[in-house]
């Protein structure tokens, strides 16, 4: 088997973003941060993903995750925060400083 060299941009999609301050809707959303990731099982623990009121959204909650996205902690890599987004969190918001795609 041989591997083809390519730029990472050829194999990934750009992350969708939103601005909680400019949001025209009200209600709550699921907010994923590093504390939501089970570092042993490499999954997002759904019970650790809080629902937050849009009015209380931190300014750093700007990335939208999609089912099957792979999240990798870039700020604290020693914590081994890696997980795949489950279907239940499709469209959730992401703490952009802790986890990147």
Is residue 29 one of the residues assigned to a domain? yes
- Alpha-carbon distance of 42 to 44, in angstroms, equals 7
pTM (predicted TM-score) = 0.70
Q: Which of 101, 21, 90, 27 is nearest to 61 (CA)?
A: 21
Residue 63 lies in a domain: yes
* DSSP at 35: G
The values of phi and psi at residue 66, to 5°, are: -125, 155
- Please give the chain's pLDDT, 101 residues, in tens: 788 899 978 888 877 787 766 766 677 888 888 888 888 888 888 898 888 887 777 777 778 888 888 888 877 778 788 888 888 888 776 544 344 44
Domain of residue 19, CATH code: 3.90.220.20
Q: Give the Cα separation of 38 and 43 in Å (integer).
A: 5
* Residue 56: inside a domain: yes
DSSP string, 26-63: -SEEEEE-GGGEETTTTEE-GGG--EEEGGG--TTEEE
In a domain, 72, yes or no: yes
């Amino acid at each position: 088997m041989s591997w083809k060299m390519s730029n990472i941009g050829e194999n990934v999609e750009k992350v969708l973003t939103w601005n909680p301050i400019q949001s025209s809707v009200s209600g709550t959303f699921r907010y994923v941060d590093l504390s939501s990731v089970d570092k042993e099982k490499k999954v997002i623990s759904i019970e650790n993903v809080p629902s937050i009121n849009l009015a209380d959204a931190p300014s750093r909650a700007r990335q939208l995750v999609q089912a099957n996205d792979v999240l990798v902690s870039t700020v604290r890599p020693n914590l081994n925060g890696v997980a795949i987004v489950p279907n239940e969190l499709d469209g959730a918001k992401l703490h952009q400083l802790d986890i990147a795609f």
